[in-house]
Amino acid sequence: MSNIHPLATVHPNAKIGENVEIGPYAYIDEFVEIGDGTKILPHATVFNYVKIGKDCTVFPGAVIGAIPQDLKFEGEVTYVEIGDRVNIRECATVNRGTKASGKGITRIGSDTLLMSYTHVAHDCTVGNHCILVSYVGIAGETDVDDWAILGGSTVAHQFSKIGTHAMVGGGSKINKDVPPYVLCGREPLVYAGVNIVGLRRRGFTSDQIRMIKDIYDIIYFGGMNVTDALDKIEAGFPECPERDTIIKFIRGSKRGIIKGNTATVKGELE
C-alpha cells in the first residue's frame, strides 16, 4: 500500500507501485509509472511519459519529464526512463526526448545520483552508478557511461560522450569526448592522467591500472596520431575489456577526444 499525501496531485491513471510515498504538493501526471518503494518528496513534479524504477527518491523542486528545450520539438510523445535506486536531488531537471534525434527517450541508469540543480537535456543517456555533481548541465544527446563522475558546474556540449569510470574536474567545459578511465580538467579541458583512486575503489588491480596508463601514454605521449596509436595498442596489448573499451570508444568518437597536457606527470604510478 502506498502513502499518498492528501495535498498531492496524482492523476488517477498514473501507475503507482507498492510502498510508494508521495509528499504534499507533489504533482504526478497521467502517463507516469512509479516503481515500488520510490519516494516523491514535497513539491516535486513528474510530467507525462515518465517511468521511474524502484527505490528512487525525487527531492523537492525536481522536475522530471518536462518537454525538451529544443526548437525541433513538435509536441510528439517522447519519454524519460529512470532506473532503480536513483537519487534526484533538489531542483534537478530531466527533460523528455525528441523525435528529431531518432531516439525519443532520455535515460538515467540505476544507482545514479543527480545532485541539486543538475540538468539532463533531451535524449541524453546517463549510465549506472554515475554522479552528476551540483549545477552540472549536459546538453542534448550527451552520453555519460557507467561510473563516470562530472564535477560541479561542469557543462557538456551537445553530442558529447564521457567514457566509463572517467572523472571530470569541477567547472569544466566538455567540448570533446572524454575517454574511459581518465581524469581531466583545466581550461581548455585536457587529459590529466588515469582515474587511479576511482579505479582502485571499484576493484581494479594494479596490473589493470598500469596497463590502462601504458595505453594512454601511447595515445597522449607517443608522438603518433590517434589512428596510429590505436593500431599500436591493438597490436601490442592482449585483448581484455579495458583495452577493448578504450579502443572502441576512441574509434567511435565523432567529436574527437580531449587533448593531452604536456605538463601531465607521466610517472603517477611510480
Please identify which of the residues 65, 140, 163, 185 carries the catalytic annotation: 140
Contact at 8 Å (CB) between 42 and 23? yes
Instruction: Tell me, yes or no, if 123 is annotated catalytic.
Output: yes
Please identify which of the residues 29, 123, 143, 177 carries the catalytic annotation: 123
Q: Taking Cα atoms as reference points, which of 58, 7, 63, 9 lies closest to residue 34?
A: 58
Instruction: Tell me, yes or no, if 170 is annotated catalytic.
Output: no
Q: Alpha-carbon distance 161 to 256, whole Å?
A: 10
Alpha helices in the chain (DSSP H): 196-201, 206-221, 226-236, 241-251
Instruction: Tell me, yes or no, if 55 is annotated catalytic.
Output: no
* Residue recorded with cell 552520453: 143
Contact at 8 Å (CB) between 75 and 104? no
Please identify which of the residues 119, 122, 163, 193 carries the catalytic annotation: 122
For residue 228, the SS3 value is: helix
* Residue recorded with cell 597522449: 220
Name residues whose C-beta falls within 8 Å of residue 71's C-beta, 6 or more positions apart in sequence. Answer: none
Positions marked active-site = 122-123, 140
